[in-house]
Amino acid sequence: MKTILVMRHAKSSWSDPGLADIDRPLNKRGKQDAPRMGDLLRKEDLIPDLILCSPARRAKKTAQAVIEASGYPGEIEIIPDFYPGDPEIFLDALVSLPDNIDSVMIVAHNPGLEELVYELVGESTRLPTSALAQISLILGTWQDLGDDVQGKLDNLWWVKELG
């Protein structure tokens, strides 16, 4: 059994129109929301073995806030091709994971993340900022992940529903 946690970056700031999209920071709400999802990971005992992240500033800051709140002991692995976020790139990264990784978290962008969830579970899922989807897959090895593998959407959390 393998678990994929798919998290869209927290709310970003548009206050500086001169910034390149990849350099946009989190806004005030994003800085508050990201740690809440880290708390959720800790409370649900879902701390991943590995976090893969987009190089975009807002994604990295989201992942860092999640780490601080969850107690994740590892490092963030930045995957340059995760920006802007093509589902095939995410799948390629998953297929290349070592088999000692049972749970992985991807922090990146829409629409690619919503497309990834669709590819993995066969249903459309909306992922607003800071949303987290938990997907389980019956796999012995990540290399078995392919078109014939159907995952299960175990949970979907939106930060506004956390209370």
Residue 93: per-residue pLDDT? 97
The correct answer on CATH 3.40.50.1240 for the domain covering 2-161 is: yes
Task: Give 49-67 pLDDT, tens digit per residue.
Answer: 999 999 999 999 999 999 9
State yes or no: pLDDT of 143 exceeds 80: yes
Angle at which helices 57-70 and 28-43 cross, to 10°: 40
For residues 108-123, give the mean pLDDT: 96
- Domain ranges for the chain: 2-161
pTM comes to: 0.96
For residue 57, the surrounding DSSP H or E stretch is helix 57-70
Mean pLDDT of the chain: 96
Residue 148: pLDDT band (50, 70, 90) is confident
Say if strands 152-157 and 132-137 run parallel, antiparallel, or are unpaired.
antiparallel
Instruction: Name the residue among 85, 69, 82, 73 with its Cα closest to residue 48.
Output: 73
Residue 149 pLDDT: 82
| pLDDT-derived band at 130, boundaries 50, 70, 90 | very high
